[in-house]
Amino acid sequence: MGRMSVIEAPEATTPQEATVRDRADVARQVRLVVTFGLSTAILVYFALAIEDPQVTYILGERVTQEFRPKDLTTTWVSWLAIATSLVALVLAALDRYPRRGAGLALALLVGVMFYLGFLMWAYTDQAGAFQAAIANPIPGTMRIATPLVLGALAGCLCERAGVINIAIEGQFLAGAFFASVFSSIAFTSLAFIPLALVAPFGLLGGVLAGVGVAAMLGLFALRYQVNQVVLGVVLVAFASGLTSFLLGQIPGDRKATFNNPMILDEIRIPVLADIPLLGQALFEQTILVYLMFASVAFVTFLLFETRWGLRVRSVGEHPKAADTVGIKVNRVRWQAVLLGGVFAGLGGAYYTVGSTGAFDREVSAGTGFIALAAVIMGRWHPIGATFAAVFFGFMWNLQNQLSFVDKLPGELLGAAPYLATIIAVAGFVGRVRPPAADGEPYVKS
Amino acid sequence: MKLEIRGLTKRFGSFTANDAIDLTIEPGEIHCLLGENGAGKSTLMNMLYGLLDPSEGEILVDDRPVTFVTPADSIAAGIGMVHQHFMLVPVFTVAENVMLGREQTRGLGVLNRAEAAARVRELSERYGLRVDPDRLVEDLPVGVQQRVEIIKALANDAQVLILDEPTAVLTPQEIDELMQIMRELKAKGTSIIFITHKLREVKAVGDRISVIRRGKVVGTASPDTSEAELAEMMVGRSVKLTVDKDAATTGEVVLDARGVTVVDPRGHQVVKDVSFEARAGEVLGIAGVQGNGQTELIKSLLGLVRPAAGEIWLDGRNISTHGPRESLEDGIGYIPEDRAHDGYVGSFSVRENLVLDLYRSDDFSRGPALNREAIAANARSRIEEFDIRTETADSPVSSLSGGNQQKVVVAREFSRPLKVLIASQPTRGVDVGSIEFIHKRIIEERDRGTAVIIVSTELDEIFGLSDRIAVMYDGRIVGTVTPDIAREDIGLMMAGAHEPAEGGAA
């Protein structure tokens, strides 16, 4: 040791900084070790708990002529999952876990393997005569994620401009209701609209309703500077009450006139729709889903590559700086809020003309708030928010699919997506930086 | 471009912030606006920049009257402003900040970032303002951010540039660089309005000096006027620019910081292995440019943040784990740098603020109830002793002037027997009269045998009060010197150089 210190003598002059490790770095390592330790332990439990390692799976959502159940022996899947998780655990424990992109990719891989390991356990050893097969999760995920993505885009636009939008749920409800009404009326009363456009006409109703709620948000938040959190909650209650009231006002014999919309047709994109697993879910969809894809690209481009986007972000970060270079802060905020209303309205329309048809009370069932969580988990970036929305959609779909398997109690299963939301927002996202002036009204001094 | 102001007046209710101000800025001159905090300099400039509407009077550009309703109007007329608090979006790049408001596009509103960056490079070369257009503003040092502000104004073809207290956040070296830039701009024909309260700078760079006091122009002067004369014009009576004090009689070590390291919530080390001793009866000055760890060091001494490593000893006791209340009971007095945030409760009365950290003592409470008479009596005596100008002891502290607010804080902290007094920027935003008074009280406290620690970014204050000076840079103490060190040397230390070999090391 004595000789060593002579050799290393020059090091003594370097600053002591290196000897004190940043707390955040230590916390990160602890978090990783705990996460992967837990995942490994749980996966081992899953693997050991399997008695009969035989399951069936299908590449589609349900058994059809095209998709027939195939057999699978789970053992190797379980152990591969354990091995992956263990590698990540060892890397984390040795403080050799990769950073940035590679780290994220490894975490994602562990996540996928955990999901598979869990599936193996969930679908083996089913009691009862009926044996559920593991099904393709992508179509269901897409169904749930589509409105979430659209709602999250609305959230991104508003909050990047510095207006907190908690009212996405309200925009969903209004959008869903008026989409149904517009489509129904177009079918029964507006003969000049060709049949093919009756359902898309519903989208127009959804957009107008979404913009309408956005206008109320803008009026009270920007003109009257009401606290935006309180305002958002009030607007949700208002939209919920209003749509329920209007629904109740439709007489029983007039339901066909006002609340019996046509549903959007699926449009198949040749070739792409034939991709296994993904194709049908992504490329044999309604116009609304394609609009959703386009909207993500559009909003991203708008925010980060255009003059308007630069101004929107500047008023959300430092409105006074924007003001001093001649940008009209509240005008830009109004524009962003109203444009957000378009996407939120489209998201709402999904719940009626985009999927099931007639409007029912609380048809969006609180998903507007999940879209808000996606905004935060996606760090106020349209693409991040999209991935977050897809993750939430995936969790919900998983819950739906597992309800056919009797392994987990239904109530617990029902709470699982919400639990996943909290863990995702709190754990993965940690401390993120919202736009600096988010929620702060701008008043000229 | 010639800018002329005639009889410009601004009233806020019954208060007249600017009273019939006349000024002429000739093309290509550096015109200094000298005045104390609150004299009305910023109000005047905000009217010139379209942020405030004048109550009366007019503004003329090249002899034609103009009205500025929004900043856009002023920018269009050729006026650019570098605000005291920078108007930069931290998460944008330099080029994005410069282009904001008049963006270069490829048509259809699509940003042309390459062209914007080229424009920044061109301006930065022409005026010698080194800056990388692709860096994020939040990653740049303050001096460079200021250059970005100047480029931003120049990019809008500013012919009159207003610099509002531009030196407050700079190191002495950066101040020299800024003055060089100002001379460069002047040589290229840009007029500059230079707002400051620092006499030295006015004399170094100004062509003409207008002095503002209580909202009025009280005179103009040339740069060869003496500092004492300028100070007298600024304050309205003769002022002493130095602090009277005898040599310190230094006693035992009272406060002993050993290897204190503080990590901020983002995980950065902001105080790095800092060790120092403060002795009874001396003033230890901590010099340094703002944001080099002074604030966090002080917070750790007071127990407002727990150091990540290191120990703090007071009178031979380890107080590293003490919270703020224990620190108060230990006998540490604190004058915070941001008094409105940490020093008083604005909506509370003067009387209440004077006992904010004393109300628990038996003198001011009876069981759970406050002893109102004792608190009122305390207020009467403190108001008289510290010459606090307030209508009544019942007025809210927020209604007082900056200097009197600070006196409330000082009076309260001096009401307890202290072992250590920590004063952070004790005279920031305080009028000259109050500065003299507060300095005198601090020296009296020293002579009573208290260990005093002064943190200040104003070198004059550090030199005037300190018996020893520790210089902080990047979270470390880069050296401890005596006040006879040359200004340039301490300036170098504030920029990160280690103490000079033969400098008066203490």
Instruction: State yes or no: pLDDT of A280 exceeds 50.
Output: yes
Judge contact between A175 and A345, C-beta under 8 A: yes
Alpha-carbon gap, residue B117 to B131, rounded angstroms: 11
Query: Any CB–CB contact under 8 A between B323 and chain A?
Result: no
Span A264-268, average pLDDT: 90
pTM of the model: 0.81
CATH classification code of A138-429: 1.10.3470
CB-defined contacts A:B, below 8 A: 99
Query: Any CB–CB contact under 8 A between B289 and chain A?
Result: no
What values do phi and psi take at A206, rounded to 5?
-60, -45
Query: If you ran DSSP here, which 8-state letter would residue A149 be given?
Result: H
Q: Which residues of A touch B136 (CB under 8 A)?
A: none
In chain A, what are the domain boundaries?
22-123, 138-429
- pLDDT, residue A7, reads 36
Q: Are strands B332-335 and B420-424 parallel, antiparallel or unpaired?
A: parallel
Query: Any CB–CB contact under 8 A between A306 and chain B?
Result: yes
In chain B, what are the domain boundaries?
3-235, 253-494
Q: Do domains B3-235 and B253-494 have the same CATH topology?
A: yes
Chain segment B295-306, per-residue pLDDT in tens: 899 999 999 888
Instruction: State yes or no: pLDDT of A230 exceeds 90.
Output: yes
Alpha-carbon gap, residue A250 to A248, rounded angstroms: 5
Chain segment B360-383, per-residue pLDDT in tens: 888 898 888 999 999 999 999 999
ipTM of this predicted structure: 0.84
- pLDDT, residue B241, reads 67
Distances (CA, A) of B387 to B343, B383, B465: 18, 6, 21
- pLDDT, residue B245, reads 84
- Tell me whether residues B89 and A17 touch, CB distance under 8 A: no
Alpha-carbon gap, residue A286 to A345, rounded angstroms: 16
Amino acid identity at A143: R
CATH classification code of B3-235: 3.40.50.300
- pLDDT, residue B435, reads 85
Alpha-carbon gap, residue B149 to B131, rounded angstroms: 11
Q: How far is B109 from chain A (nearest CA, A)?
A: 5
Chain segment B452-483, per-residue pLDDT in tens: 999 988 888 899 999 999 999 989 999 999 99
- pLDDT, residue B399, reads 82
Instruction: Give the model's confidence band at B198: pLDDT under 50 very low, under 70 low, under 90 confident, else very high.
Output: confident
Query: Any CB–CB contact under 8 A between A440 and chain B?
Result: no
Q: Percent of chain A scored above 90 by pLDDT?
A: 50
Could you tell me which chain A residue has the CA closest to the CA of B102? A325
The strand pairing partners of B192, in sequence order, are B30, B161
Q: How far is A154 from chain B (nearest CA, A)?
A: 21
The strand pairing partners of B21, in sequence order, are B8
Could you tell me which chain A residue has the CA closest to the CA of B88? A321
Span B46-61, average pLDDT: 91
What values do phi and psi take at A61, rounded to 5?
-80, -35
Q: How far is A17 from chain B (nearest CA, A)?
A: 7
CATH architecture, domain B253-494: 3-Layer(aba) Sandwich (3.40)
Alpha-carbon gap, residue A80 to A100, rounded angstroms: 24
Instruction: State yes or no: pLDDT of A12 exceeds 50.
Output: no
Query: Any CB–CB contact under 8 A between A99 and chain B?
Result: no
- Among the partner residues B72, B86, B91, nearest to A326 by beta-carbon distance: B72
- pLDDT, residue A154, reads 97
Amino acid identity at A419: L
The DSSP H or E segment spanning B229 is helix B227-235
Q: A interface mutation test: which of B10, B88, B89, B96 has the most A CBs within 10 A?
A: B89
Q: How far is A322 from chain B (nearest CA, A)?
A: 7
Dihedral sign, CA of B215, B219, B220, B226?
negative
Per residue in B87-111, is it b (16+ CB within 10 Å) or e — as a string? bbbbbbbbbbbbbbbebbeeeeebb
Give me B413's structure tokens: 């902290």
DSSP B450-493: -EEEEEES-HHHHHHH-SEEEEEETTEEEEEE-TTS-HHHHHHH
Dihedral sign, CA of A159, A163, A169, A170?
negative
- CA-closest candidate to residue B45, choices B191, B220, B198, B164: B164
Query: Exposure of B230 by Cβ count < 10 A (0-12 exposed, 13-18 middle, 19+ buried)?
Result: buried
Residue of A149 and B306 predicted with greater confidence: A149
